[in-house]
């Protein structure tokens, strides 16, 4: 039961944010679906950036072992900060993509369809 | 990449995160990836390097737990020799020597302790410890290693000619872990899977 505390907290604050967003700040309900889609985009980009960062890191570590006498441990890549930095890269690139003229038009069309 | 594929990838990643953090799935996966612990007499207890020495000059928690596990096995009379491996880095001594200091402080006679401090990978550890123990005709060893790396370490040591009894030192099935601990274990398992692929490609196992 204790293990469900964290998910329950997040579920409660999410419901609270939804209520505050729609009733206090007047956010449109149909915008939530777009926000969820955008979140999935960013999560997917995070996985891609993490894979590329890890692959490149592995190549650099193994390359430096082969080219120099200095030994670099592969375990240096096993660090939470790399996940956070990959997520940051994903947010920036995802936002850039979303704010580009083509993508913005697509979002407007989706939002209009949802309203209808 | 089409956006739909990106979203499927993102959805799969978020679902995997939730399952990993809030269910015992990772602990079960770790359990399935780890050879069962056995306690039977052998000719030597071999402790693999891992964790190293902290800036304070003391062993890290990880390194100390493995060393203490080996000391307990020695005290139980399962083998007459302790082989302590570890990185040469650290001050005033490297990991292997600091482990040896701890073992002596716990009453293990100096004559029952050997150290190996030049290896940097599990593959090198297997080769150097084989070089160390072959003149004593030691073949059967109790191998003390962390849970995720045990299966690979076992294969590497068997490849150089040892008969290995696995003694993974961390909990192998902890269904009540905290989300943070589970995610940390997931990272270790992911690294271990990469290491297994690398060792297979390199022909070490």
Question: In the prediction, which pLDDT does A2 show?
Answer: 75
Q: Residue B16 above 90 pLDDT?
A: yes
CA distance B75 to chain A (A): 32
Q: What is the pLDDT of residue B170?
A: 73
pLDDT over 60 (residue B200): yes
In sequence order, which residues have a C-beta less than 8 Å from that of residue A102 and are 6 or more positions away?
Answer: none
Average pLDDT estimate for A20-41: 94
Please give the pLDDT value at position A100: 86
How would residue B99 be classed by pLDDT, with cut points 50, 70 and 90? very high
What pLDDT was estimated at residue A4? 82
Which residue has better confidence, B35 or B140?
Answer: B140
C-beta atoms of B10 and A7 within 8 A: no
Report whether pLDDT(A116) > 60.
no
pLDDT in tens, B105-131: 999 999 999 999 989 899 999 999 999
Whether B41 contacts B79, CB under 8 Å: yes
Per the document, the length of chain A is 116
What pLDDT score does A113 carry?
A: 63
CB–CB of A6 and B179 under 8 A? yes
B195: nearest CA in chain A?
Answer: A74
- Residues of chain A that touch chain B, judged by Cβ-Cβ distance less than 8 Å: 3-4, 6-7, 37, 39-48, 58, 71, 73-75, 77-78, 80
Q: Do A43 and B194 touch (CB under 8 A)?
A: no
* Residues in B lying within 8 Å of A, measured between beta carbons: 1, 3, 5-11, 13-14, 18, 22, 120, 176, 179, 187-188, 191, 194-195, 198
pLDDT in tens, A34-53: 999 999 999 999 999 999 99
Judged by CB atoms closer than 8 Å, whether chains meet at A39 and B10 is answered as yes
Give kind and range of the element (H or E) at residue A102.
helix A101-115
Query: B90 falls in which pLDDT band (50, 70, 90)?
Result: confident
| CB contact at 8 A, B142 and B163 | no
B120·A43 Cβ contact <8 A? no
Which residues on chain B are in Cβ contact (under 8 Å) with A37?
A: 7
Q: Which residue has the higher pLDDT, B169 or A33?
A: A33
pLDDT greater than 70 at residue A105: no
Residue B37's pLDDT is: 87
Residue A111 has a pLDDT of 59
Residue A67: which residues within 8 A CB-CB, separation 6 or more? none
Q: How confident is the model at residue A109 (pLDDT cuts 50, 70, 90)?
A: low
- Mean pLDDT, chain B, as a whole number? 92
Residue of A nearest to B24 (CA): A3
Across the beta sheet with B163-166, what order do the strands follow? B113-116, B82-85, B44-47, B140-144, B163-166
State mean pLDDT over B172-188: 84
Residue A104 has pLDDT above 80, yes or no: no
Q: For the whole model, what pTM was predicted?
A: 0.82
Q: Can you give the pLDDT at residue B150? A: 94
Q: Which residues of A touch B120 (CB under 8 A)?
A: 71, 73
- Inter-chain touch B10–A42, beta carbons under 8 Å: yes
**How much is the pLDDT for B168?**
87
Q: Chain A partners of B3 at a C-beta cutoff of 8 Å? A: 41
pLDDT at B54 > cutoff 60: yes
Question: How much is the average pLDDT of B38-64?
Answer: 93
Query: How many Å from the N-terminal Cα to the C-terminal Cα in chain B?
Result: 36
Give the whole-angstrom CA distance, residue B95 versus residue B143. 17
């Amino acid at each position: 039961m204790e293990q469900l505390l964290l998910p329950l907290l997040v579920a409660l604050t999410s419901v609270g944010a939804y209520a505050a967003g729609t009733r206090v700040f007047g956010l449109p309900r149909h915008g939530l679906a777009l926000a969820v889609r955008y979140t999935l985009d960013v999560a997917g980009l995070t996985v891609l950036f993490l894979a590329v960062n890890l692959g490149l890191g592995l190549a650099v570590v193994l390359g430096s072992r082969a080219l120099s006498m200095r030994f670099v441990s592969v375990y240096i890549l096993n660090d939470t900060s790399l996940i956070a930095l990959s997520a940051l890269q994903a947010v920036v690139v995802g936002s850039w993509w979303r704010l580009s003229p083509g993508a913005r038009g697509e979002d407007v069309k989706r939002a209009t369809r949802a309203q209808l | 990449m089409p956006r739909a594929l990106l979203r499927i990838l993102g959805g799969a990643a978020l679902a995997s995160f939730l399952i990993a953090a809030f269910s015992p799935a990772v602990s079960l996966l770790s359990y399935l990836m780890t050879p069962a612990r056995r306690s039977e007499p052998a000719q030597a207890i071999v402790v693999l390097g891992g964790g190293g020495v902290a800036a304070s000059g003391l062993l890290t928690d990880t390194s100390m737990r493995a060393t203490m596990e080996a000391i307990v096995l020695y005290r139980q009379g399962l083998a007459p020799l302790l082989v302590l491996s570890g990185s040469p880095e650290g001050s005033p001594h490297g990991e292997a020597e600091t482990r040896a200091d701890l073992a002596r402080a716990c009453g293990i006679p100096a004559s029952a302790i050997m150290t190996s401090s030049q290896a940097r990978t599990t593959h090198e550890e297997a080769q150097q410890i084989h070089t160390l123990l072959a003149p004593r005709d030691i073949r059967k060893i109790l191998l003390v290693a962390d849970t995720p790396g045990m299966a690979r370490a076992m294969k590497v040591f068997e490849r150089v000619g040892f008969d290995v009894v696995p003694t993974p030192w961390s909990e192998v099935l902890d269904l009540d872990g905290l989300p943070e601990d589970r995610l940390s274990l997931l990272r270790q398992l992911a690294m271990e899977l990469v290491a297994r692929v690398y060792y297979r490609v390199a022909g070490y196992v």
